[in-house]
Chains A and B, each alone.
Chain A
Amino acid sequence: MDILSPQLLYFLETILFATVLSMHLVKKNFVIISLYSLQSFIISILLFSATLREASLLLLGVAVATFFIKVIVAPYFFFRLIKKIRLHFLVSTYLNGPLILIVLALLTTFSHSQYFKPLTILAPGNENALLLTVGMIFISVFLIINRKGALSQMVGVLSLENAIVSFAFLAGLEQAPGPQLGIIFEIALWVVIATVFASMIYQQFGSLNVAAMVELKED
């Protein structure tokens, strides 16, 4: 039973795309984590629909694990980190607001250009949704590049992972439940380690701004 029609799927992909765009525009760390949480929730819906389509208990386990790790555990750790180090506002980016908008427009255009048209044969009927996920991949990478704050970069990495999962879902490149569970487990570990590491970095440098971390560099 397929509960996702192409229209609904496109709608969900549009929300995913909007979340990653919004991550570039919002100023508060709390909001960016919430956006990631929303993004992950939609990914869980996509995986749950696959469970119903395949009628597989293992896939249900994957969807539940994804929901638990990405929608509850990861945001929980990030909120705790924000609270612990009082990092409520995002401070700086390398590019200013107008330039960010220009780059976002360029990346979106590029993802819909002729270079990616051949990919659309992977998802007949969902071509536009697939190209949105490509754009989402680029914009997530751009989030990692443009933000100076380590927390935003972490969210950028997780958003990139969500974009890849979304792309795989649309293109029919999903892995078997075993590897998917492995990936979810790795993400859980990564979130724990990354937040602990960020906390240690803060203790060392008094900031999570990577531009301020110059003492470990060679002259």
Chain B
Amino acid sequence: MLAVSSQLAYFVSLMLFSIGAVGSLIVMKRNTLANIWGNTFAVFGSIVGLVSAVAVLFGSGFSFSFETSLPFLSLSVHVDKLSAFFIFVISLIAAVASVYGIGYVKQYYGKYNIGALGFFYNAFIAGMIMVVSAQHALFFLVVWEIMSLASYFLVIFENNESSHVRAGTLYFVMTHIGTAFITLAFLLLYSATGSFDFAMIKENSAGITPFMKDAIFILALIGFGTKAGIIPLHIWLPSAHPAAPTHISALMSGVMIKTGIYMFIRLFVEVLPNTPLWWGIVVLIIGAVSSLLGVLYAITEHDIKKLLAYHSIENIGIILLGLGSSLIFLAFDMKSLATLGLVASLFHIFNHATFKALLFLAAGSVISKTHTRNMEDYGGLIKLMPQTALFFLIGAMAISALPPFNGFFSEWMTFQSLFAGIRSADTSVQWAFILAAGSLAFTGGLAAACFVKTFGIIFLARPRSEHAKSAHESSVTLRFGMAVLALLTLAIGLSAGPIAVTLSKVAGDLNAFAGQPPAFAADWSAITLVDNFASVSGLLIFAMLTAFIFIVFFAVSIFTKNRKVHIGRTWDCGTNLDSRMEITATGFSRSLINIFRGVLKPTKQVTIEYRDEHMRYFHVTKTVEFGIRDIYQNYFYELIQLLVAKISEQMRRMQSGNVNVYVAYIIVALITLLVIMK
């Protein structure tokens, strides 16, 4: 009964998204109706999707296949617990983002096509849900493309902004490079197993040679890693995510990039069993590098949405640390510890989706009132937008892994997984775990520093622009979306134990982990490693923090109740206090940039205008521009571009315009084919 209802809910959910998409186009001439139509159906579709996912998570999965007249293509859907988990995360964030969107999209009325936004928005969510439930490689590619194209059109939605169109183009190119690699990986799987069906591929995986498995791993790592935004394939992410409307940025950053991680798990753990050790080490190293460099680049950013986008790279790195350790443990046949690593990874996927969506929505709330993404133009918004400030603070604490919010618990589990690797793994791979644990520790500290800067620059001190001065609290729908996510970050933190248990069941549903209990025990009171190496209790931490705050509050009240309060002007050497005296985001991050200058390659350009060009004593103006050299652009992509340009130049010579040469090509091609095909 539960299985039937979950299947029904799944298809009803997709139907609602379809109605939302098509209906938005039909009513596109009426902005309000198109906005309400598109987002309302997205909310309902997401809620029904949640029902479907919960039914599978706590019941059993379902499969559905619809044969088409096209050769090889079968519309096969299979929703197991892993798929259901991802559908749950997608639907949850989509539901909240859609409520937020009803209020947020109003600013585009009369400027852009709201009907088109509703169409692509619904198609995007439906595409993501189908991606994580597709059972057939070709069907997967179709829905992957639906998701990618819909998100591309959402990135370039504000097409009057040339920077958005450029970001969209970069995203389009990178995502299709990724798709090319994915297609190659699927073709190799087909050539080895004779099927595009993931279940059949899994059944026949014994016939795949180790060399071919490794080739598939590399192709899939590049293809899905491009979507996930791992370094150095991330270059599209910091420009594309901020370009989309904010509630869509939340979905892209919080959810869409996780579809790449979903396929990592599906392929590397489920479809291709008997994981070689080096796969895990590679994933672990990529995770360590992505997390550390992601947060370092975030620190240098002053564009609030770009900063959050870089933090997505950081968090993808943290997720990969869990997954990488899980793959390594699987290679050593330590399934209990492998479950711990995978649960840490899944838990962080869930947590990152909630707090990153919360941060994006809060940032969107600020941007909608200040009309800029430059943090240097904010300041003092805590007084003008107190609720947004609170929600942002909660998100900032969660992403900085501060208890009792959810980010802390998934990072704690990731740490435990890495520590277990240091203690239990072969000495030949201990160095990888040590490197990863060090990277994660660094990342946590730097993330906290980054959000001290971000919160301080946005909400504290005095407004630094006219827009910031005139800002006021956002509308109810925006605050509702943020409030739900803020409560969720706390609620997930407090119920970390039961969630970890549920996620261990998700992991246990995969063949690779079946039959072995996880290396931890969890309930409402605590999560404890079975060897008692470590234990953490969300409720206890929450109770202690609450008690501490109350004690401090009462102590301060008691000791200061007779103290007179004198309110006077802040003394500032006799001058008037203004926003120019505040520390800027640039100033705050400069010291950190200097520490990591070897990696970040900071640049400084000083431009001076003199009163007298010959004497050069007195300045009219002096401008200092700080920047960060894009090392991926300079040392990786530009080299590739140069190489491609060289090859293209050589290829161009083939097109000589001489008929003799063309006939020669034909005859050489024919002879070559004849020799090869014999």
A residues contacting B by CB (< 8 A) are 94, 110, 115, 138, 141-142, 144-148, 153, 210-211, 214, 216-218
Contacts and interface: CB of A to CB of B under 8 A. Distances in A.
A153 B657 contact: no
B674 A115 contact: yes
Contacts of B663: 141, 144-145
Contacts of A141: 663, 667
Given A144-B660, A210-B659, A211-B658, A115 B678 contact: yes
Contacts of B659: 144, 153, 210
- Residue in B659, B661, B675 with the greatest tally of chain A CB atoms within 10 Å: B659
Interface of B: 656-661, 663-664, 667, 671, 674-675, 678
16 contacts: A94-B660, A110-B671, A115-B675, A141-B663, A141-B667, A142-B667, A145-B660, A145-B661, A145-B664, A145-B667, A148-B660, A153-B659, A210-B659, A210-B660, A214-B657, A216-B657
A12 to B, nearest CB: 26
Contacts of A216: 657
A148 B660 CA distance: 8
Contacts of A148: 660
Contacts of A218: 657
Contacts of A146: 660
Nearest to B664: A145
A148 B663 CA distance: 13
A30 to B, nearest CB: 23
Q: Is the contact region of chain B dominated by helix, strand, or loop, or is it mixed? A: helix
A153 B664 CA distance: 13
Contact of B667 (A138, A147, A153, A217): A138
**Closest 5 pairs between A and B when the two form their complex, measured CB to CB:** A217-B657, A145-B664, A145-B660, A144-B663, A141-B667
Nearest to B671: A110
Contacts of B671: 110
Contacts of B678: 115
Nearest to B678: A115
Q: Is the contact region of chain A dominated by helix, strand, or loop, or is it mixed? A: helix
Nearest to A138: B667
Contacts of A147: 660
A146 B674 CA distance: 22
Nearest to A147: B660
Contacts of A217: 656-657
A217 to B, nearest CB: 4
Contacts of A145: 660-661, 663-664, 667
A211 B659 CA distance: 10
B130 to A, nearest CB: 45
A142 B667 CA distance: 9
A210 B662 CA distance: 13
Nearest to B668: A145
B416 to A, nearest CB: 64
Nearest to B661: A145
Contacts of A110: 671
A163 B660 CA distance: 19
A210 B658 contact: yes
- Residue in B659, B660, B667, B678 with the greatest tally of chain A CB atoms within 10 Å: B660
Given A141-B663, A144-B659, A145-B663, 7 more contacts: A115-B675, A115-B678, A141-B667, A145-B661, A147-B660, A210-B660, A218-B657
A115 B667 CA distance: 15
A216 B671 CA distance: 31
Nearest to B659: A210
Contacts of B660: 94, 144-148, 153, 210
A211 B660 CA distance: 9
A137 B478 CA distance: 76
Contacts of B675: 115
Nearest to A137: B667
A218 B656 CA distance: 9
A211 B674 CA distance: 30
B664 to A, nearest CB: 5
A89 B666 CA distance: 28
Nearest to A218: B657
A146 B658 CA distance: 11
Contacts of A142: 667
Contacts of B674: 115
A100 B657 CA distance: 23
Nearest to A116: B674
A110 B674 CA distance: 11
A194 to B, nearest CB: 13
Contacts of B661: 145
A144 B659 CA distance: 9
Contacts of B664: 145
A164 to B, nearest CB: 14
B662 to A, nearest CB: 9
A138 B661 CA distance: 15
Nearest to B656: A217
A174 B663 CA distance: 26
B421 to A, nearest CB: 58
A210 B660 CA distance: 9
A145 B663 CA distance: 6
A184 to B, nearest CB: 24
A160 to B, nearest CB: 10
A8 to B, nearest CB: 31
A217 B678 CA distance: 38
A158 to B, nearest CB: 14
Nearest to B665: A145
A153 B656 CA distance: 17
A189 B78 CA distance: 63
A144 B666 CA distance: 12
A210 B671 CA distance: 25
